[in-house]
C-alpha cells in the first residue's frame, strides 16, 4: 500500500511512494545529513568570514616583541589606552573621517536628486543616464583613480593634489552607490501620497519636505551610511590622488613595510565595533518597531471584531 | 514610474550628472589622450610628452605586460568561481532557511567588511605565515604538497604564492557575491517551488529548473561585481604575493606612481577599462539597464 | 632599520673616470678604520668625463633671508634619526631649542622612485613641495642636481660641513660644484640571516642557493644591489659591468627563481619576513639589521666573501623651499661630532662626519665597536659602488632584471 510520506524537510513535498518501514530510517538519516550539511557549510563560511577579523582584534591586544605585530608575544592594553600613540596616525584618522563626512554629504544630496529624477520622470536620455550611473560602480578602482590622476596632472595649474582632490574623487565614486540605493527605495513609493498632500493645498516644496522626504529618509540614510563606509575605507583611488596627504588607509599601507603598529589594529577594531554596533542597534530598533506595529494592528483588529460582535 | 512633466527632471539631474561627467568621463578621455602621447626622456632625465596618435603605446605596453594582463583575468576568474561556490550555499540558507534570523545573518555577513580592506589583507599575512596553525595544519594533511605539485604554491609555503593571492581576492570580494545572490534568491516566490514539487519534480530538479534560473539576475550581478574589480586589484598581489604573481593592477600602479610613465600607464589602464566596458555592455544588453542597478 | 633603500650608487658620475677601488685607495690613503666608508665613493673625487646628464646648474649662489623661520619641514626615510620614547628626536629637539624654531620631521620617503614620482609634478612646475630638506640616495640625488630640482647651498653657512665631512665624500662628481648635496648616512648591502633557522653560517651569496633554504630566501628588487652582489659572486666587477654582464647575472639566477628557491624579490619588507621566520636568509641593508638585532639578537649581517655594495643618502634643499635658512642651519648643526654621534647611536648606518666615532666610543662603546657602523678597513676594501649607468644602459639592465623577476 503506497503511502506518501512527508518528512519534515523544507520542500519535502512529494516523495515517491515508498514501501514500508525498513528503508526509511537510513534514508531519513541521510536526508537529515544532507539537510544539515548545507547548514554546516553555511556556518563554516561565516566562520571563514570572521577569521581575519578575529585575528585583527586579538592582535590589537598584543604587545609585540619588536616592530612587527605578526607574532603573539604577550597580552597588553597599552595600545587601547593610547590609540593615537603613533605619530601621524591621529591626523590620518581625522582626515579620513573629515573627508568621509564631506563626501557623504555632497554625494548623498547629488545622488538623491538624481534618483528622484530617474524614478519619477521619463525624459530623453534616461537609459543613458542609467548607464552613466552604473559604469563607475563597475569600473575597476585603479582605472578610476589613475584617470582622475591624469586629469589632475593635466590641470596642475588649476588644482594640486591634496585634500580637495581626494574629496572630489570620493564624491565621484559615492554618487553612483547613492543613486542605486535611493532608487531601490523610491520604486515602491506611492505617488498618491504626494498627490493627496497637494490636494490638501500643500505646495511642491512643502510636499517634498513633509511627505516625500520623511518617507524616503530610510533609503537616503542607508545610502549615506554606505557612502561613508566606502569613503573611509577607500585606498586605491585615494592613493593615486592624495599627493602628500595621508588618510588612514594610506597610513596603513605606508606602515606595512616597517611594521604596522598595534594602534592600527585598535582603530580598525574600533571602527568595526562601532559600525557593527550601529547596525545591531538599527536591527533591534527595526524589530521592535515591527513588533509594535504588529501589536497595534492586532489591537485594532480585535477592536474591530468586538465592535462587530456588538453589532451582531 | 510616474511620468510627469519631463523637463523637471533636468535640474535635478544636472549637479550629479555634471559631477560624474567632469570627474569620471572626462578623466577617461584625458587618460585616453595621454595614452596616445609619446614620452621623451631627455638626456638630463626630464620628461616631455607630445601628442601624436602614438598607438604603439598600446602595442608596446600589451606586448610587454600581456602576461600580467592575462594573469589578472585568470586570477579574477578563479576567484569569482570560488566566491560563487562559497557564497551560493550561504545565500541560499539565509534566503530560504533563516526565517526570522535573516536580517541578523545578513548583518553577520556584511560585518567583516566593515574593517579596513588593508588591515583585513594584512591579517592574512599572519594567518598564512609559514609557522601559523593554518599553514602547519594544511602541511600536515598534505594539502601544500598537492598545491606545490599543481604549481599553485612553491617551496612549501603559502605566502608569496598564487594560491595566497587568489584566496585573498576571493575573500575580499565575497560580500559582493553573497548579497546580490541573496537578493535575487529572496525574491523567489516559494509557491513556485511548491508548485514544481507538486508537479512531481524532485528537489534537485526543482532547484535546477526553478530556483537557479530565477536566481540568474543575482548570479550575473554577483559575478560582474566580483570579477571586474578583481581584475584591477593589486593590493592582494602586493601584500601576499611575489613578483611572479604580479597582476596588471600592480603594473599600472608602478607605471603611474613609481616610474611616472604616464603614456604607457594610461594605455594599460585604458585597455583594462575597454575590456571591462565590453563586459558591462554585454551585461546591460542581457538584462536591460533598469535591472542592472536594481538587482 | 629604515625604509627602503634604492641603493644604487651608480650616481651619475661615480665611476666616470673608470677608477677602480685600488686607484681610490692609492689616492686617498687607506687610513685606519674610521668613517672612510665614503672612501669608496671617493671614486667620485676628481673624476672627469661625461656621459649624459652633466652638471647643469648655472644659477648663482642663493641669497637667503638669514632669519630663522619659526618652523620648517625635514623629510627623511623611516628610522633614520635618533628616537626616544617612540616619538621624540633628541637631536632635533636640541636644534629646536638652540635656534628657537620648530622642526616638522616627516618619515615619508619610502623609496627613491616613488617619492620622486610624488613630488615631480610640483618640482617641474616650480612649486614648493612643502619640504625644506629631503634625503635621497646617490643616483636619485644626481638626477635632482641635473634637473636643477635642488637649491644651490650657501657654503658660508656650512662651516662644520667643510670642516668635518670625511675626505672621501668631498668633491663627488654627482655634485660637481659641491654645493647641492650634504651626505646624511652611508650603508652597505650584504646578507642577513638567522643562524637558528639556517643551521649554518652564511658567508657568501651562493649559500643562499643551498637546498635546505628553498623558499626561505629573498633577494632585493633593487637591481643594482641584487645584480651587484651576484656579479661579485660570479667574479664580475660591478664597477665596470656591461649589459651583457647584467644578463649573465640574471641567467645565473634564473633557475633559482624558477624553482622557487628564491621566495620573492623584496624592498625592505624582507625585515618582516626575517623577523617572522618566513625567511631564513636574505640580501639586506646593514642599518636595517642593526635595528632588527635590537628585537632579535640572533640575527646576523655578513659582508659576503666576494664583496658587498656601498651607497650614500644625501640631504638636499628642494627648489623653492620656503625655509632654506633653517635647512642650512640644520645641515651645519648635524655636522658637529656630538650631534652626529647622537644620531649615529640610533641610526647605526655609516656616519659621514669626522669625529663622531670618538664621541661615541666615550658614551656607547658597543656601538663604536659594531663593524656595521664603523666598518673595518677590510669590509671597506671589499665594498663596491655600482657603476654609473647611462640611460640606455639603465634601460637594458632594468629590462634583464624585470624579465628575471617574471614580473
Chain B residues closer than 8 Å to C407 by CB: 68, 243-244, 246, 250-251
Q: Residues C239, C245, C248, CA angle at the centre, nearest 5°?
A: 140
Interface check A259 vs C, CB under 8 A = yes
The domain of A191 spans 87-257
Rounded Cα distance between A123 and C44, Å, is 72
Rounded Cα distance between B53 and B56, Å, is 9
A198 near A167, Cβ under 8 Å? no
Chain C residues closer than 8 Å to B251 by CB: 407
- Return the residue matching grid coordinates 638652540: C98
Contact state of C275 with A153 under an 8 Å Cβ cutoff = no
Reported as type and span, the H/E element at residue C110 is: none
Residues A249 and A175 in one domain: yes
Rounded Cα distance between C31 and C46, Å, is 19
Of B21, B257, B277, the CB nearest to A240: B257
C-alpha cell at B172: 575580499
Residues A93 and A55 in one domain: no
Reported as type and span, the H/E element at residue C102 is: strand C102-106
Cα dihedral sign, C128-C131-C136-C142: positive
Residues A45 and A105 in one domain: no
The answer, yes or no, to whether residue A296 has pLDDT greater than 50, is yes
At A61 the pLDDT is 94
C8 near C222, Cβ under 8 Å? yes
Tell me which of C25 and A217 has the higher pLDDT.
Answer: A217
C-alpha cell at A277: 554596533
At C26 the pLDDT is 30
Q: Is B39 helix (H, G, I), strand (E, B) or coil?
A: strand
Residues A115 and A232 in one domain: yes
Reported as type and span, the H/E element at residue C136 is: strand C134-137
The residue among A195, A219, A11, A18 whose CA lies nearest residue A116 is A219
Q: Residues C273, C277, C278, CA angle at the centre, nearest 5°?
A: 55
Query: If pLDDT is split at 50, 70 and 90, which confidence band does C3 have?
Result: very low
- Return the residue matching grid coordinates 686617498: C28
Q: Where are the beta strands (DSSP E) in C249-376?
A: 262-266, 281-285, 300-302, 308-316
Please name the residues between 37 and 96 in chain B that touch chain A, using a CB distance below 8 Å: 86-87, 89-90, 92-94, 96
The answer, yes or no, to whether residue A217 has pLDDT greater than 90, is no
DSSP-assigned letters across all residues of B266-293: HHHHHHHHHHHHHHHHHHHHHH-HHHHT
> Mean pLDDT across the stretch B183-200?
83
> B67-287, what's its fold?
MetI-like fold (1.10.3720)
Q: How far apart are the first and last CA of chain B?
A: 17
Rounded Cα distance between A201 and C150, Å, is 71
Q: Where are the beta strands (DSSP E) in C168-303?
A: 182-193, 217-220, 262-266, 281-285, 300-302
Q: Residues A252, A254, A255, CA angle at the centre, nearest 5°?
A: 65
| CA dist C406 → B68, C6, C55, C395 (Å) | 9, 20, 36, 17
Residues A101 and A220 in one domain: yes
Query: If pLDDT is split at 50, 70 and 90, which confidence band does C339 have?
Result: very high
Best residue of B255, B293, B294 to probe chain A, by most A CBs closer than 10 Å: B293
The answer, yes or no, to whether residue B41 has pLDDT greater than 70, is no
Interface check A139 vs B, CB under 8 A = yes
| Residue B3 to chain A, least CA–CA distance (Å) | 5
At C206 the pLDDT is 93
Residues A92 and A175 in one domain: yes
Torsion of CA C229, C234, C239, C240, to 10 degrees: -150
Torsion of CA B117, B119, B123, B126, to 10 degrees: 140
Interface check B156 vs C, CB under 8 A = yes
Of C114, C146, C215, the CB nearest to B156: C215
Q: Residues B158, B159, B161, CA angle at the centre, nearest 5°?
A: 80
Rounded Cα distance between C85 and C69, Å, is 27
Do the strands C71-75 and C102-106 form a parallel or antiparallel pair, or are they unpaired?
A: parallel
Count of residues in chain C:
407
Interface check C263 vs B, CB under 8 A = yes
Tell me which of C15 and A250 has the higher pLDDT.
Answer: A250
B162 near B241, Cβ under 8 Å? yes
CATH 3.40.50.2020 at C189-309+387-405, yes or no: no
**What burial letters (b/e) apply to B19-58, b meaning 16+ CB within 10 Å?**
bbeebbeebbebbbbbbbbebeeeebbeeebeeeebeebb
Rounded Cα distance between C4 and B276, Å, is 35
At A3 the pLDDT is 39
C335 near C158, Cβ under 8 Å? yes
Rounded Cα distance between A113 and A182, Å, is 9
Q: What is the pLDDT of residues B193-235, one digit of tens each?
A: 888 888 877 777 888 888 888 888 888 889 988 999 999 999 9
Work out the mean pLDDT of chain B and round it to a whole number.
85
DSSP-assigned letters across all residues of C144-164: HHHTT-BPPP-GGG-HHHHHH
Q: What is the DSSP letter of A20?
A: S
Residues with Cβ within 8 Å of residue C132, at least 6 apart in sequence: C72, C73, C74, C317, C318, C321, C322, C323, C324, C326, C327
Chain B residues closer than 8 Å to C276 by CB: 129-131
Rounded Cα distance between B4 and C208, Å, is 75
C87 near C57, Cβ under 8 Å? no
Count of residues in chain A:
312
Chain B residues closer than 8 Å to A168 by CB: 23
CATH 3.10.105.10 at C21-187+311-376, yes or no: no
> Mean pLDDT across the stretch B234-255?
91
Lowest mean pLDDT: which of A91-100, C292-301, C367-376?
Answer: C367-376
Question: Which residues share a beta bridge with B37?
Answer: B51
Please name the residues between 231 and 290 in chain A that touch chain B, using a CB distance below 8 Å: 233, 235-236, 239-240, 248-249, 252-253, 256, 260, 264-265, 268-269, 271-272, 275-276, 279-280, 283, 286-287
Q: How far apart are the first and last CA of chain C?
A: 27
C-alpha cell at C41: 665613493
B264 near A246, Cβ under 8 Å? no
| Residue C276 to chain B, least CA–CA distance (Å) | 8
The answer, yes or no, to whether residue C322 has pLDDT greater than 80, is yes
| CATH assignment at residue A118 | 1.10.3720.10
Residues A145 and A233 in one domain: yes
Contact state of C143 with B45 under an 8 Å Cβ cutoff = yes
Count of residues in chain B:
295
A84 near A148, Cβ under 8 Å? no
Q: What phi and psi, each to the nearest 5 degrees, are found at residue A18?
A: -115, 140
The answer, yes or no, to whether residue C16 has pLDDT greater than 70, is no
Contact state of B90 with A70 under an 8 Å Cβ cutoff = no
Query: If pLDDT is split at 50, 70 and 90, which confidence band does C32 have?
Result: very low
- Return the residue matching grid coordinates 623661520: C69
Residues A171 and A224 in one domain: yes
Cα dihedral sign, C226-C231-C232-C238: negative
Interface check A149 vs B, CB under 8 A = yes
Lowest mean pLDDT: which of A285-294, B22-31, B187-196?
Answer: B187-196
Residues A51 and A182 in one domain: no
Work out the mean pLDDT of chain A and round it to a whole number.
85
Q: What is the number of structural domains in chain A?
A: 2
Q: What is the DSSP letter of B41?
A: E
A219 near A138, Cβ under 8 Å? no
The residue among A308, C95, A15, A233 whose CA lies nearest residue B198 is A15
Tell me which of A224 and C392 has the higher pLDDT.
Answer: A224
Lowest mean pLDDT: which of B102-116, B182-196, B257-271, C20-34?
Answer: C20-34
Query: If pLDDT is split at 50, 70 and 90, which confidence band does B289 have?
Result: very low
Domain contains A165 = yes
Rounded Cα distance between C245 and C243, Å, is 5
Helices (H), C147-242: 159-164, 195-198, 223-234
Residues A104 and A248 in one domain: yes
The answer, yes or no, to whether residue C8 has pLDDT greater than 60, is no
At A254 the pLDDT is 85
Domain boundaries, chain B: 67-287
Q: What is the pLDDT of residues B135-152, one digit of tens each?
A: 999 989 989 888 888 888
Q: State the ipTM, two decimals.
A: 0.85
Residues A106 and A213 in one domain: yes
The answer, yes or no, to whether residue A7 has pLDDT greater than 50, is no
Residues A162 and A58 in one domain: no
At C62 the pLDDT is 54
- Return the residue matching grid coordinates 640575527: C299
Amino acid at each position: 500500500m503506497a503511502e506518501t510520506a512527508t518528512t519534515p524537510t523544507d520542500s519535502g513535498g512529494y516523495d515517491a511512494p515508498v514501501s514500508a518501514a525498513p528503508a526509511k530510517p537510513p534514508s531519513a538519516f541521510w536526508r537529515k545529513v544532507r539537510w544539515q550539511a548545507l547548514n554546516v557549510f553555511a556556518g563554516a563560511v561565516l566562520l571563514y568570514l570572521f577569521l581575519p577579523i578575529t585575528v585583527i582584534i586579538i592582535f590589537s591586544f598584543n604587545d609585540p616583541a619588536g616592530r612587527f605585530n605578526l607574532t603573539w608575544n604577550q597580552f597588553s592594553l597599552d595600545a587601547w589606552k593610547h590609540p593615537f600613540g603613533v605619530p601621524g596616525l591621529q591626523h590620518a584618522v581625522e582626515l579620513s573621517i573629515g573627508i568621509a563626512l564631506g563626501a557623504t554629504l555632497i554625494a548623498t544630496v547629488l545622488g538623491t536628486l538624481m534618483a528622484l529624477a530617474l524614478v519619477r520622470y521619463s525624459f530623453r536620455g534616461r537609459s543613458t543616464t542609467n548607464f552613466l550611473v552604473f559604469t563607475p560602480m563597475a569600473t575597476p578602482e585603479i582605472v578610476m583613480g589613475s584617470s582622475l590622476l591624469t586629469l589632475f596632472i593635466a590641470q596642475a595649474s588649476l588644482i594640486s593634489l591634496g585634500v580637495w582632490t581626494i574629496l572630489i574623487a570620493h564624491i565621484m565614486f559615492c554618487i553612483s552607490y547613492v543613486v542605486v540605493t535611493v532608487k531601490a527605495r523610491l520604486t515602491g513609493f506611492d505617488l498618491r501620497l504626494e498627490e493627496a498632500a497637494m490636494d490638501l493645498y500643500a505646495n511642491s516644496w512643502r510636499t517634498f519636505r513633509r511627505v516625500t522626504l520623511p518617507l524616503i529618509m530610510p533609503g537616503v540614510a542607508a545610502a549615506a551610511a554606505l557612502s561613508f563606509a566606502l569613503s573611509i575605507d577607500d585606498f586605491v583611488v585615494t592613493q593615486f590622488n592624495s599627493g602628500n596627504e595621508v588618510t588612514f588607509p594610506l597610513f596603513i599601507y605606508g606602515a606595512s613595510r616597517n611594521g604596522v603598529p598595534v594602534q592600527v589594529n585598535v582603530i580598525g577594531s574600533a571602527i568595526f565595533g562601532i559600525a557593527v554596533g550601529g547596525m545591531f542597534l538599527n536591527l533591534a530598533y527595526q524589530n521592535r518597531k515591527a513588533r509594535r506595529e504588529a501589536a497595534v494592528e492586532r489591537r485594532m483588529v480585535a477592536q474591530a471584531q468586538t465592535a462587530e460582535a456588538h453589532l451582531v | 514610474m510616474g511620468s510627469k512633466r519631463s523637463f523637471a527632471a533636468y535640474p535635478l539631474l544636472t549637479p550629479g550628472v555634471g559631477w560624474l561627467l567632469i570627474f569620471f568621463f572626462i578623466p577617461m578621455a584625458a587618460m585616453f589622450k595621454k595614452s596616445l602621447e609619446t614620452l621623451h626622456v631627455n638626456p638630463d632625465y626630464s620628461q616631455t610628452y607630445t601628442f601624436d596618435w602614438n598607438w604603439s603605446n598600446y602595442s608596446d605596453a600589451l606586448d610587454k605586460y600581456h602576461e600580467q594582463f592575462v594573469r589578472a583575468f585568470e586570477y579574477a576568474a578563479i576567484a569569482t568561481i570560488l566566491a560563487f561556490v562559497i557564497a551560493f550555499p550561504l545565500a541560499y540558507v539565509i534566503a530560504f532557511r533563516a526565517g526570522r534570523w535573516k536580517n541578523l545573518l545578513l548583518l553577520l555577513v556584511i560585518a567583516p567588511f566593515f574593517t579596513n580592506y588593508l588591515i583585513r589583507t594584512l591579517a592574512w599575512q599572519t594567518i598564512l605565515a609559514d609557522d601559523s596553525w593554518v599553514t602547519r595544519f594544511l602541511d600536515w594533511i598534505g594539502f601544500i604538497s598537492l598545491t606545490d605539485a599543481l604549481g599553485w604554491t612553491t617551496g612549501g609555503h603559502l605566502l608569496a604564492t598564487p594560491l595566497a593571492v587568489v584566496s585573498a581576492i576571493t575573500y575580499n570580494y565575497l560580500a559582493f557575491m553573497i548579497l546580490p545572490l541573496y537578493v535575487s534568491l529572496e525574491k523567489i516566490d516559494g509557491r513556485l517551488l511548491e508548485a514544481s514539487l507538486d508537479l512531481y519534480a524532485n528537489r534537485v530538479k526543482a532547484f535546477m529548473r526553478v530556483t537557479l534560473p530565477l536566481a540568474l539576475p543575482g548570479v550575473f550581478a554577483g559575478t560582474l561585481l566580483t570579477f571586474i574589480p578583481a581584475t584591477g586589484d593589486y593590493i592582494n598581489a602586493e601584500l601576499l604575493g611575489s613578483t611572479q604573481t604580479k597582476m596588471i593592477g600592480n603594473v599600472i600602479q608602478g607605471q603611474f606612481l613609481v616610474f611616472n610613465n604616464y603614456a604607457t600607464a594610461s594605455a594599460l589602464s585604458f585597455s583594462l577599462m575597454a575590456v571591462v566596458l565590453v563586459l558591462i555592455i554585454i551585461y546591460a544588453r542581457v538584462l536591460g539597464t533598469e535591472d542592472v542597478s536594481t538587482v | 632599520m629604515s625604509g627602503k633603500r634604492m641603493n644604487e650608487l651608480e650616481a651619475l658620475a661615480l665611476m666616470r673616470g673608470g677608477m677602480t677601488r685600488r686607484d681610490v685607495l692609492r689616492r686617498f690613503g687607506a687610513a685606519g678604520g674610521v668613517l672612510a666608508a665614503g672612501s669608496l665613493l671617493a671614486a667620485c673625487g676628481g673624476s672627469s668625463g661625461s656621459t649624459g646628464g652633466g652638471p647643469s646648474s648655472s644659477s648663482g649662489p642663493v641669497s637667503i633671508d638669514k632669519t630663522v623661520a619659526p618652523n620648517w619641514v625635514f623629510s627623511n626615510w623611516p628610522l633614520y634619526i635618533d628616537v626616544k620614547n617612540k616619538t621624540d628626536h633628541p637631536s632635533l629637539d636640541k636644534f629646536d631649542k638652540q635656534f628657537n624654531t620648530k622642526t616638522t620631521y616627516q618619515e615619508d620617503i619610502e623609496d627613491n622612485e616613488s617619492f620622486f614620482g610624488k613630488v615631480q609634478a610640483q618640482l617641474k612646475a616650480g612649486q614648493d613641495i612643502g619640504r625644506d630638506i629631503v634625503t635621497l640616495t646617490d643616483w636619485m640625488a644626481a638626477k635632482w642636481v641635473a634637473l636643477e630640482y635642488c637649491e644651490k647651498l650657501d657654503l658660508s653657512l656650512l662651516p662644520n660641513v667643510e670642516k668635518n665631512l670625511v675626505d672621501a665624500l668631498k668633491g663627488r662628481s654627482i655634485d660637481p660644484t659641491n654645493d647641492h648635496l650634504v651626505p646624511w648616512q652611508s650603508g652597505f648591502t650584504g646578507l642577513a640571516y638567522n643562524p637558528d633557522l639556517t643551521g649554518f653560517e652564511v658567508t657568501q651569496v651562493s649559500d643562499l642557493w643551498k637546498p635546505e633554504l628553498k623558499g626561505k630566501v629573498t633577494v632585493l628588487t633593487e637591481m643594482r644591489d641584487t645584480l651587484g652582489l651576484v656579479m661579485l659572486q660570479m667574479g664580475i666587477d660591478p664597477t665596470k659591468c656591461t649589459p651583457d654582464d647584467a644578463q649573465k647575472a640574471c641567467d645565473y639566477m634564473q633557475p633559482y627563481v624558477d624553482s622557487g628557491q628564491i621566495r620573492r624579490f623584496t624592498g625592505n619588507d624582507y625585515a618582516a619576513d626575517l623577523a617572522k621566520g618566513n625567511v631564513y636568509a636574505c640580501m639586506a641593508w646593514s642599518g636595517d639589521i642593526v635595528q632588527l638585532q635590537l628585537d632579535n639578537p640572533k640575527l646576523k649581517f655578513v659582508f659576503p666573501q666576494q664583496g658587498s655594495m656601498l651607497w650614500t643618502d644625501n640631504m638636499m634643499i628642494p627648489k623653492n623651499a620656503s625655509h632654506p635658512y633653517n635647512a642650512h642651519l640644520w645641515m651645519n648643526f648635524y655636522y658637529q661630532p656630538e650631534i652626529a654621534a647622537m644620531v649615529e647611536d640610533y641610526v647605526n648606518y655609516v656616519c659621514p662626519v669626522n669625529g663622531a666615532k670618538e664621541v661615541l666610543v666615550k658614551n656607547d662603546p658597543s656601538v663604536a665597536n659594531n663593524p656595521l657602523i664603523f666598518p673595518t678597513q677590510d669590509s671597506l676594501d671589499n665594498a663596491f659602488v655600482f657603476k654609473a649607468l647611462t640611460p640606455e644602459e639603465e634601460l637594458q639592465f632594468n629590462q634583464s632584471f624585470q624579465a628575471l623577476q617574471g614580473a
